[in-house]
Amino acid sequence: MNALDIRSLKKTYTNVTKALKGVNLQVAQGDFFGLLGPNGAGKSTIIGIISSLIRKTSGSVKIFNTDIDKNFALAKSFIGITPQELNFNQFETVEDIVLNQAGFYGMRKKLARERLDELLEKLRLEDRRKEVSRNLSGGMKRRLMIARALVHKPKLLLLDEPTAGVDIEIRHSIWSFLKELNSLGTTIILTTHNLEEVEILCRNIGIINSGHLIEDTSLRTLLSQLDSESYILDLEDEVTDAQIADFPELKAIDKHQIEININKKEKSLNSLFVKLSDKGIGIRSMRNKNNRLEKLFLDLISTS
C-alpha cells in the first residue's frame, strides 16, 4: 500500500505564483523518503497540502488510500508533522505542549501521559518536562516538535528540515531516533538541505524543481550514477612532488595531505593504494572530499 499517493497536484498562490505544476508522487508504506530541491522549488507547499495547512488548487492527495477531500479527519489522523518554523506556544511547558496535542486527537488522558513519558525519554527531554518551551535550546525545541508530532502514533511522519540549526551531537541522536522509528514501521518523508542527512537516512528520493518532480528514484540508483569520486588522504609521512609525479589522479594539498579523484569504472582504489605503497607513501586516514550527492544534485537541477 502507498502511504502517500499524489496525482496531478497543482498549487497557484494568489493566482500568480505557480508553486506546483502537476506533481505525481507515490511513497510506499514503510519508506524513508527524501524530498529535495532548491529553495522555492515547492517542497513546503507539498508538505503543507498533505497536512492540510495549505489548500491545493487541483489534483488529489491520498494518505493510506484515504482521499483528503473525502475523509479529511481520517486522513489527518494518519499524519504527524514537524513544520520548518517552530510553532508552539513559547509560554507553555514541554509536557503541556505534548498533552494538548494528544487532546486535540481525542486521546484518553492516561494513554496520553504514557505516550508523553515514552517520547520524552526517547527524545532526551524528560528532565525538561516542566520547563516553558521558550527556555529550551534550539536542539531541544526541534526534539519537542518531533515528540508533539508523534504523540498520537501517526503512520506517516512529515519532517520539514528537522535538524536545521541543530548541533552535531543532537543531529546524530535525532537521526538514530528516526531510523529506529522507521524500522518499527513508521513511514517518514523528510525535506532537508543537508545531503549527508539524506544519504544516512533515506531509501528513496524525489527531487523537485520549479514545481515539477524531476527525479523519483532510490538513493542507491542515484549514487550508482556517480562515476568519479574525490577523497582526501592524510599521509603518514611528508610527501614530495617527485613521489606523486606519476599519478595524474593525485594532487598535493600540502606535505601531509593529497587529494585523489578516481573514476570508479576505470580504476579501483585498491590498486591505487598498492601503487602508493610501492612508492613508500603510507596512508593514515581517508575521507570523502564532499558529500557524494552534492554534485549529482547540482547537475540534476541545472539540467532540468
Contact letters for ligand ADP, residues 130-169 (x by CB under 6 A)? ----------------------------------------
Instruction: Pick the closer one to ligand ADP by CB: 45 or 66.
Output: 45
Is the separation of the CB atoms in 145 and 101 below 8 Å? no
Among 3, 9, 19, 149, binds ligand ADP (CB under 6 A): 19
Is the separation of the CB atoms in 146 and 170 below 8 Å? no
Instruction: Pick the closer one to ligand ADP by CB: 54 or 181.
Output: 54
Q: How many residues bind ligand ADP (CB under 6 A)?
A: 12
In SS3 terms, 171-238 reads as HHHHHHHHHHHHHCCCEEEEECCCHHHHHHHCCEEEEEECCEEEEEEEHHHHHHCCCEEEEEEEECCC
Instruction: Pick the closer one to ligand ADP by CB: 13 or 72.
Output: 13
Residue found by looking up cell 585523489 in the block: 260
Among 5, 25, 44, 260, binds ligand ADP (CB under 6 A): 44
Instruction: Say how far apart CA 239 and CA 245 lie, in whole Å.
Output: 11
* Binding window for ligand ADP (CB under 6 A); candidates: 1-9, 13-21, 74-82, 257-265: 13-21
Instruction: Pick the closer one to ligand ADP by CB: 14 or 271.
Output: 14
66 near ligand ADP, rule: CB under 6 A = no
Phi-psi region of 205 (alpha: psi -120 to 50; beta: other; left: phi over 0): beta
List interacting residues with ligand ADP (CB under 6 A): 13-14, 17, 19, 37, 39-45
